[in-house]
Amino acid sequence: VKPRYQSVPGTRDLFPALAERYAATERIAREVFQSYGYGEIRTPIFEHRELFARSVGETTDIVHKEMYEFEDRAGASGAGARLVLRPESTASVVRALVQRGLQEVPLPIRLWYAGPHFRRERPQKGRYREFRQIGVELFAPPSPAADAEVLTMLHRFLTAVGVPEPVLKINSLGTPVWRKRLADALREQLLPRASDLGEDDRRRLDVNPLRLFDSKDAAAQRLVAAAKLPALDDAARQYHDELLGLLAAAGVPFVEEPRLVRGLDYYTMTVFEVTSERLGAQNAILGGGRYDELVADLGGPVLSGMGFAIGQDRLIDAATGDPREAKTVFWVVPMSPAEFEYGLKACSELRRQYPEAVVELDLSGRGFKKGVARAAQIADSPETYAFKVADVRVAFIGPDERASGSLKIRDVKTREERTAPLSELRAGGRVP
Ligand code: HAM
């Protein structure tokens, strides 16, 4: 029968073998990003709703229908606050910087983060309601070099994690003036066909035509695909060409994708996504871009930002190889409860002398035979562990071992056995 308590649809439990893969990508992120000068930032899991409405945009799917919202209970001051679980972190990072004060801070500011985010989407493979992101935000004057640095670092990271042939799709959304021209062009061309559109898309056409690019409706997709887009203005074109030149020089492969607009409102100029052939329908491993106006929009000074967020769940699905370390397991078996005190001591000695190994105490105290059977299970179920099982050694503790202060160790695979004094388990140069 099905247990009474089930997890909420779209959320997942990560057991050790999988959790270790998450931890490994976070370790690589810390290493790679730190080597470029990025420091970690941790912001709250919940924020005021208004923060995301103002930045990501009221008309985006994320804000319009995917946020988990709740009313905080009213305090002494009266009305409660409208809070949301964070659907992304760029707005939170900008809020944190503006709140701290950006007056005296030397530029550039380089930050990275990792953690859970929440969107109420329809769950499917690669799409969760609680998902995890690893992200980066760079605050510096806008320049193709800044964008190139971020994208080169991203490429380094994906290579280090082992994503085979990631495809970087890149576009420029131009200046806000050009974006307005793009919106007008879409409105002009699509308005005569508005009756072909659903209610949601008609609203998009009216309020924020660029959001039509996110539409999942076939008719809307066809119309958008057929629409003629205005050419980028010269300044944006030159900026973008310079960036593409820097990427080519740095050996970062990319494809230009003129219709890539991204599902969040704050972007200006450079936008990009990385997809992988190894994923199914939800094939975007990550997305990002430049935001030249967000800091000022959220009450800060004129300061540009640029960054990306990787869907960690998709990253792990796309990556090949097993990042887990191979480890030796010592399975320490006290013959009976009378041997536990010596068993605990023996475990401490093993851990001291074999810091790279895993030392586990058999807590059953039900004799050697059962203990050995359990050790065989360890060797046979490597997927259960946070590490790969290189080999298993059983350490026996009976009255004899306790009396002589020694340990008998057997290699489960070779069945080789030896007895050594507790203080010199690793002595003699031979690593058992
Ligand atoms: P985003 O495109 O909304 O951008 O999300 C980035 C990535 O998060 C996606 O490409 C995807 O891999 C992952 N993701 C999003 N929703 C889900 C979900 N429901 N389940 C699993 N994975 C998901 C942002 O969030 C921006 N803050 C990125 C950014 C940073 N732009 C500038 N700086």
- CA 395 to centroid of ligand 1, rounded, Å: 48
The protein residue with its alpha carbon nearest to ligand 1, atom 9, reads 286
For the Cβ of 87 lying below 6 angstroms from any atom of ligand 1, the answer is no
Q: What is residue 427's predicted lDDT score, i.e. its pLDDT?
A: 65
CA atoms within 13 A on the CB side of 326: 5
Candidate from 264, 269, 285 with most ligand 1 atoms within 8 A of CB, to mutate: 264
For the Cβ of 166 lying below 6 angstroms from any atom of ligand 1, the answer is no
Q: How far is CA 289 from the centre of its chain?
A: 17
Report the C-alpha gap between 278 and 163 in whole angstroms.
9
For the Cβ of 314 lying below 6 angstroms from any atom of ligand 1, the answer is yes
Q: What is residue 429's predicted lDDT score, i.e. its pLDDT?
A: 45
Q: What angle do CA 20, 26, 29 make, to 5 degrees?
A: 145
Q: Is 338 helix (H, G, I), strand (E, B) or coil?
A: helix
Where do we find the tokens 């495809």?
167
- CA 87 to centroid of ligand 1, rounded, Å: 9
Per-residue pLDDT tens digits for 91-121: 999 999 999 999 888 999 999 999 999 999 9
For the Cβ of 266 lying below 6 angstroms from any atom of ligand 1, the answer is no
Contact 211, 204 (CB under 8 A): yes
For the Cβ of 285 lying below 6 angstroms from any atom of ligand 1, the answer is yes
Contact 426, 354 (CB under 8 A): yes
For the Cβ of 132 lying below 6 angstroms from any atom of ligand 1, the answer is no
Q: What is residue 176's predicted lDDT score, i.e. its pLDDT?
A: 86
Q: Give the percent of the chain with pLDDT over 90.
A: 87
- CA 119 to centroid of ligand 1, rounded, Å: 10
Q: Is 354 helix (H, G, I), strand (E, B) or coil?
A: coil
Q: What is residue 18's predicted lDDT score, i.e. its pLDDT?
A: 93
For the Cβ of 289 lying below 6 angstroms from any atom of ligand 1, the answer is yes
Q: What is residue 430's predicted lDDT score, i.e. its pLDDT?
A: 52
- CA 131 to centroid of ligand 1, rounded, Å: 9
Report the C-alpha gap between 44 and 28 in whole angstroms.
23
- CA 285 to centroid of ligand 1, rounded, Å: 8
The protein residue with its alpha carbon nearest to ligand 1, atom 2, reads 287
Is the pLDDT reported for residue 428 higher than 80? no
Q: What is residue 323's predicted lDDT score, i.e. its pLDDT?
A: 86
Average pLDDT on 332-360 reads 96
In whole angstroms, how far apart are CA 147 and each of 173, 176, 289, 411?
A: 14, 18, 8, 54
For the Cβ of 274 lying below 6 angstroms from any atom of ligand 1, the answer is no
- CA 111 to centroid of ligand 1, rounded, Å: 17
Is the pLDDT reported for residue 431 higher than 60? no
Edge-first strand order for the sheet with 39-40 is: 39-40, 109-118, 130-139, 305-311, 284-291, 270-275, 167-172, 255-256
Where do we find the tokens 């959304």?
173
For the Cβ of 294 lying below 6 angstroms from any atom of ligand 1, the answer is no
Most confident range, picked from 70-79, 207-216, 353-362: 353-362
Q: How confident is the model at residue 74 (pLDDT cuts 50, 70, 90)?
A: confident
The protein residue with its alpha carbon nearest to ligand 1, atom 10, reads 286
Average pLDDT on 257-285 reads 92
Where do we find the tokens 């992988």?
276
The protein residue with its alpha carbon nearest to ligand 1, atom 25, reads 88
Q: What would the two tokens of residue 81 be?
A: 């606050």
Closest CA to 334 of 374, 359, 367: 367
- CA 143 to centroid of ligand 1, rounded, Å: 23
CA torsion sign for 38, 149, 261, 208 is positive
- CA 284 to centroid of ligand 1, rounded, Å: 8
Q: What is residue 282's predicted lDDT score, i.e. its pLDDT?
A: 80
Q: What is residue 143's predicted lDDT score, i.e. its pLDDT?
A: 98
Amino acid (one-letter) located at 10:
G
DSSP state of 205: H
